[in-house]
Structure 1
Amino acid sequence: MDVSVAFPTALDSHEDITLAEELGYARAWLYDTPQNSPDVWMCLALAAERTTRIGLGPGVLVPSLRHPMVNAAATAMLAALAPGRVEVAFGTGFSGRRAMGYGAITWSFMAEYIRAYRGLLRGEVVEWEGAEMQMLHPAGHAPRRPVDVPILISALGPKGAEVARELGDGLYATLQLPDFAREFPRVSYLAWGTVLDEGEDPTSERVRLAGGPGTALAWHGAYEFGGQAAVAGLAGGGAWNEVVNRTPEERRHIAVHTGHCVELNEADRAAWDAGGSSLLGPTTLSGTREEVRDKLGELADSGVTEIVFQPCGPDVRRELETFLEVASRSTTAVRS
């Protein structure tokens, strides 16, 4: 199992990726979340210029945010800057759309988009929105076509699984691992958490800062997929709903997704303090070294071929070093 890293795209993402390469991580993924982040392609290009080995890619692109020609041209540019190091993942928009008040895109749209995107990178004439088009980039404007990059697809249900089987080179999973994961030769699993020091209190301030944002995804995900009734069934859910309900319904998605994957927002902090901290262990890759190693072993046994860890909190180096130490021992044990 490869050990990779993900970062919420930020102005200093290239520095974090440089550190991840120095430490030995296999790949670095950046999120396509324009409502929270600077442009993912700009930040990946900065990272490509500052690194030589680590893999790079957007994880995940949300098709509705850009014309397929724009993503194809950006992919070609990154492939020119980092030849042999680029992979791309696509998703329907958990935070990339929902944080702006939209629902997820349909899987039929996803399939049409990826077909057009793949065709453009192959140098073909494709049809999009009733018009025929082709990458016309002359020498010096993009690599020669075809531009071949692996494409992973984030899917949880049967419709997504079908699209991934037809058009993907692998699966990019988060929040939960679908039953069909074993069908794919490549399965990347995005996870959050923090490795506890010996005897460390799991409700400490360090743990809250480093493990809290990942824990908050339990409330965010429950809200988006099951509504406030689903949130109420979770530890701290009542306090979370109480804070979120102070925001008018038409703007509630803003209250929910503020700080998403970076820090606890007001509702998240209320939930954490109301007992939600107990979700840290069950919902994230958090725990003692032995507990985290056991969780990684279970993921490997379930078909995960790449663990993608997103660090949180003020001490990124500590999170990256500690997780890599534990994960490296876990993957070595799996190989043996």
Structure 2
Amino acid sequence: MDVSVAFPTALSSPDDIALAEELGYARAWVYDTPQQSPDVWMTLALAAERTERIGLGPGVLVPTLRHPMTNAAATATLAALAPGRVAVAFGTGFTGRRAMGYRAISWSFMDAYIRAYRALLAGEVVEWEGAQMQMLHPEGHAPARPVEVPILVGALGPKGDAVARELGDGLFVTLAQPGFMTSYSWVPYLAWGTVLDDGEAPDSGHAQEAAGPGWALAYHGAYEFGGPDAVRDLPGGPEWMDVVERTPESRRHLAVHVGHCVHLNDADRAAWDAGGHAMLREATLSGTRGEVRERLDQLGEQGVTEIVFQPCGSDTRRELERFLDATA
């Protein structure tokens, strides 16, 4: 299993990616969440300039945020800056859309978008929104077409599986492990958590800072996919909903997603303090070194070929080193 890293795109991400390369991580993925992050392509370009070996890519791009020509041109630029190191993953949009009040995009749109994007990189003329277009970059403005980069698709259900099989080179997975993972040869799995010291409590200050943001996804995801009742069934869920419902309904998505994958927001802290931390091991890849190693073995048996670890908290080096040690 390859060991890679992910970052919720920040101004520090290029330096963090350089650190991940120094430590030996295989690939670095960064998020496409413009409502809380700097531009994903600018960040990757800076990382390309500061690294030599580590793989680079957006994980995941949300198609409705950019015209397919824009993403194709950005992909070609990164491929020129980091030859042989680029991969691109697409998803229907969790925080990248829901934090702005939108639902996920349809799989029919994803299918059409990836087809257009692939054809543009191949140098073909494509039709998009009723217009004919082609990458016209002269020499020195982009690599010659075709620009070949592997494409992964983030999918959990049958519609996404069908798109990934036909148009993707692999399956990008997070939050759950679909049974069809085993039929793919490349399956990065994005996970959050931390390596705990022997005897360290799941509500320690370190656990809250380093694994809390990933643990909070259980509440964010339950709210977005199951609604308030699904959240209230979780430990600390009623307290979480009490905080969220203080915000007017039209802006409630802002209260849910603030701090997403970075730090606990007010609702998350209320759930944590009410006992929600008890499900830290269940909701994240957290535990002692041996427990994390055992979980990784299980994921490998389920079809994961690349673990993608997102560190959280103030000590990125410490979290990266401890996780890498647990994978050895």
Report the TM-score, using the length of structure 2 for normalisation.
0.99
1:118 maps to what in 2?
118
The CA deviation at 1:115 is 0.1
Aligned length: 328
SS in 2 for 1:100: coil
Q: Deviation digits for residues 2-57 of structure 1, max 9, x if unmatched? A: 00000000011001000000000000000000001000000000000000000000
Q: Aligned partners of 2:303, 2:297: CA distance in 1, in Å?
A: 10
Counterpart of 1:208 in structure 2: which amino acid?
Q
The CA deviation at 1:200 is 1.6
2:299 maps to what in 1?
299
Check if 1:316 corresponds to 2:295.
no
Q: Deviation digits for residues 82-128 of structure 1, max 9, x if unmatched? A: 00000000000011000000000000000000000000000000010
The CA deviation at 1:201 is 2.0
Q: Which structure 2 residues correspond to residues 1-20 of structure 1 after superposition, within 5 A?
A: 1-20=1-20
The CA deviation at 1:256 is 0.1
2:193 maps to what in 1?
193
Q: Deviation digits for residues 152-197 of structure 1, max 9, x if unmatched? A: 0000011111000110000000000111111111101000000001
Check if 1:237 corresponds to 2:241.
no
SS in 2 for 1:271: helix
Counterpart of 2:45 in structure 1: which amino acid?
A
What root-mean-square deviation, in Å, do the aligned CA atoms of Structure 1 and Structure 2 show? 0.5
SS in 2 for 1:153: strand
Q: Which structure 2 residues correspond to residues 1-336 of structure 1 after superposition, within 5 A?
A: 1-327=1-327, 329=328
Counterpart of 2:50 in structure 1: which amino acid?
R
Q: Aligned partners of 2:282, 2:8: CA distance in 1, in Å?
A: 23
Q: Aligned partners of 1:69, 1:63: CA distance in 2, in Å?
A: 11
**Which aligned runs of 4 or more in structure 1 are off by greater than 4 angstroms?**
none
Q: Aligned partners of 1:47, 1:197: CA distance in 2, in Å?
A: 32
Q: Deviation digits for residues 254-295 of structure 1, max 9, x if unmatched? A: 000000000000000000000110121001100011110010
Counterpart of 1:267 in structure 2: which amino acid?
A
Unaligned runs of 5+ in 2: none
SS in 1 for 2:96: coil
Counterpart of 2:150 in structure 1: which amino acid?
P
Q: Aligned partners of 1:278, 1:42: CA distance in 2, in Å?
A: 39
Q: Aligned partners of 1:306, 1:119: CA distance in 2, in Å?
A: 27
SS in 2 for 1:254: helix
The CA deviation at 1:199 is 2.1
The CA deviation at 1:209 is 0.4
Give % identity.
Answer: 74
SS in 2 for 1:71: helix
Q: Deviation digits for residues 141-161 of structure 1, max 9, x if unmatched? A: 000000000000000011111
SS in 1 for 2:3: strand
Q: Aligned partners of 1:199, 1:221: CA distance in 2, in Å?
A: 29
SS in 1 for 2:99: helix
SS in 2 for 1:238: helix
Counterpart of 1:116 in structure 2: which amino acid?
A
SS in 1 for 2:118: helix
Counterpart of 1:296 in structure 2: which amino acid?
L
Counterpart of 2:87 in structure 1: which amino acid?
E
SS in 2 for 1:242: helix
Counterpart of 1:79 in structure 2: which amino acid?
A
Q: Deviation digits for residues 198-250 of structure 1, max 9, x if unmatched? A: 22222111110001000000000000000000001111100000000000000
1:333 maps to what in 2?
none
